[in-house]
């Protein structure tokens, strides 16, 4: 695997899930593979889970791991080709990426969207430039439009907890929030669920449609009650509007999930990628209840990253 930026980079999704589950049972089994190899994790935005789980994944494989918080510790980056850099930016992405590629065998990068310019964000220009100039395999640690390590961990969790003998029903439901959030997690979850063998429904208020290239094959409803009927898994996530781009949806507090709303599910497991604003996006009673899988998802982040890094190391 030369890059991991989307489900489109994965040749066999279920095989990758199986590999991750095997690594979970034997985390140190391939400790020799990463010896004398360096993993660089570059963050342009904050992170808890992605940073620590990917670092742990690299260490489980015997790699040296370097983490850099570029936004705080690096030079201010310029992303425009041909820029006359007489303003605040100090180093061009093409130079920074090329240098990092000399120090590292595999690189990861996190770069959130601006939520101001849809063409710029959905063009993934920053990620593409980084990949082009660093010249080593790249793992997305969440880009402007997708968060594939999160979605792989989510699919691992679903496979671990799904009912025996039937395809699980998975529902992604929009939730209220006080801030305009990126669409990366729901876009990514949708594209992974559409590739997996399961029944997938998305529920959101009218006007919060996700980008259609990620939801092809999903059932899309604006009635949350109808969507939740017979669900086995309910994935809760806020996102801002795709059109008009980046706009916070005002209202929608009635979309907050609680015990009463999940009464008509198959005792659905509750999922969230974290961080979560408790009692704004999802209630305490569900986050702390017996059906919550939030910590299982976070734990599986390590083995999702380890499976991806293992496949990259095998091809170095």
C-beta of 265 vs 302, nearer to ligand CP: 302
Binding of ligand CP by 273 (CB under 6 A):
yes
Distance (Å, rounded) from C-alpha 168 to C-alpha 155? 11
3-state secondary structure of 174: strand
The correct pick among 8, 48, 76, 85 for binding ligand CP (CB under 6 A) is 48
List phi, psi (to 5°) of 41. -115, 115
Distance (Å, rounded) from C-alpha 116 to C-alpha 124? 14
Binding of ligand CP by 47 (CB under 6 A):
yes
User: In angstroms, what is the minimal distance from the CB of 50 to ligand CP?
Assistant: 3
Q: Which stretch binds ligand CP (CB under 6 A): 5-13, 32-40, 204-212, 271-279?
A: 271-279
State how far the alpha carbon of 68 is from the alpha carbons of 44, 74, 134, in Å. 9, 8, 15
Q: Which residue lies nearest ligand CP, judged by its C-beta?
A: 50
User: In angstroms, what is the minimal distance from the CB of 46 to ligand CP?
Assistant: 7
C-beta of 273 vs 287, nearer to ligand CP: 273
C-beta of 153 vs 203, nearer to ligand CP: 153
**DSSP code at position 85:** -
**DSSP code at position 10:** -
Binding of ligand CP by 274 (CB under 6 A):
yes
The correct pick among 30, 49, 169, 177 for binding ligand CP (CB under 6 A) is 49
Q: Using CB under 6 A as the criterion, what x/- string covers residues 130-159 for binding ligand CP?
A: ------------x-------x---------
C-beta of 194 vs 274, nearer to ligand CP: 274
CB 173 within 8 Å of CB 229: no
Site for ligand CP in 170-189 (CB under 6 A): none
Count CB atoms within 10 A of the CB of residue 31: 13
User: In angstroms, what is the minimal distance from the CB of 26 to ligand CP?
Assistant: 25
Structure tokens at 97: 């990426």
User: In angstroms, what is the minimal distance from the CB of 42 to ligand CP?
Assistant: 13
Q: Which stretch binds ligand CP (CB under 6 A): 15-23, 47-55, 130-138, 203-211?
A: 47-55
CB 170 within 8 Å of CB 199: yes
User: In angstroms, what is the minimal distance from the CB of 286 to ligand CP?
Assistant: 18
Structure tokens at 17: 């899930």
Structure tokens at 16: 């990758």
C-beta of 207 vs 275, nearer to ligand CP: 275
C-beta of 169 vs 177, nearer to ligand CP: 177
State how far the alpha carbon of 296 is from the alpha carbons of 179, 278, 301, 312, in Å. 26, 18, 9, 25
The correct pick among 50, 151, 224, 238 for binding ligand CP (CB under 6 A) is 50
| Nearest partner of 147 among 295, 5, 17, judged by Cα | 5
Distance (Å, rounded) from C-alpha 215 to C-alpha 118? 18
Structure tokens at 28: 């140190």
Binding of ligand CP by 67 (CB under 6 A):
no
C-beta of 227 vs 305, nearer to ligand CP: 305
CB 57 within 8 Å of CB 313: no
User: In angstroms, what is the minimal distance from the CB of 135 to ligand CP?
Assistant: 26
C-beta of 158 vs 273, nearer to ligand CP: 273
3-state secondary structure of 232: coil
| Residue ranges binding ligand CP (CB under 6 A) | 47-50, 142, 150, 273-275
């Amino acid at each position: 695997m030369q890059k991991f930026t989307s489900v489109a980079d994965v040749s066999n999704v279920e095989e990758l899930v199986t590999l991750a589950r095997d690594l979970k049972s034997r985390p140190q089994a391939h400790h020799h593979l990463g010896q004398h190899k360096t993993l660089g994790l570059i963050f342009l935005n904050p992170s808890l889970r992605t940073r620590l789980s990917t670092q742990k994944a690299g260490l489980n494989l015997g790699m040296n791991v370097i983490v850099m918080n570029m936004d705080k510790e690096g030079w201010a980056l310029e992303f425009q080709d041909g820029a006359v850099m007489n303003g605040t930016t100090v180093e061009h992405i093409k130079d920074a990426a090329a240098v990092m590629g000399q120090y590292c065998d595999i690189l990861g990068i996190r770069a959130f969207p601006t939520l101001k310019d849809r063409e710029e964000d959905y063009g993934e220009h920053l990620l593409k430039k980084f990949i082009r100039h660093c010249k080593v395999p790249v793992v997305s640690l969440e880009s402007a439009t997708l968060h594939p390590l999160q979605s792989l961990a989510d699919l691992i969790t679903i496979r671990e907890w799904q009912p025996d003998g039937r395809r699980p029903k998975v529902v992604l439901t929009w939730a209220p929030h006080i801030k305009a959030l990126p669409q990366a997690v729901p876009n990514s979850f949708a594209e992974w669920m559409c590739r997996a063998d399961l029944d997938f429904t998305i529920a959101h208020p009218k006007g919060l449609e996700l980008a259609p290239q990620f939801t092809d094959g999903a059932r899309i409803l604006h009635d949350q009650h109808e969507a939740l009927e017979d669900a086995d898994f309910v994935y809760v996530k806020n996102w801002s509007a795709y059109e008009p781009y980046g706009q916070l949806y005002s209202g929608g507090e009635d979309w907050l999930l609680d015990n009463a709303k999940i009464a008509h599910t198959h005792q659905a497991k509750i999922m969230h990628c974290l961080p979560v604003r408790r009692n704004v996006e999802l209630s305490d009673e569900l986050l702390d209840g017996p059906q919550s899988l939030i910590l299982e998802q976070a734990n599986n982040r390590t083995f999702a990253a380890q499976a991806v890094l293992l496949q990259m190391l095998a091809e170095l």
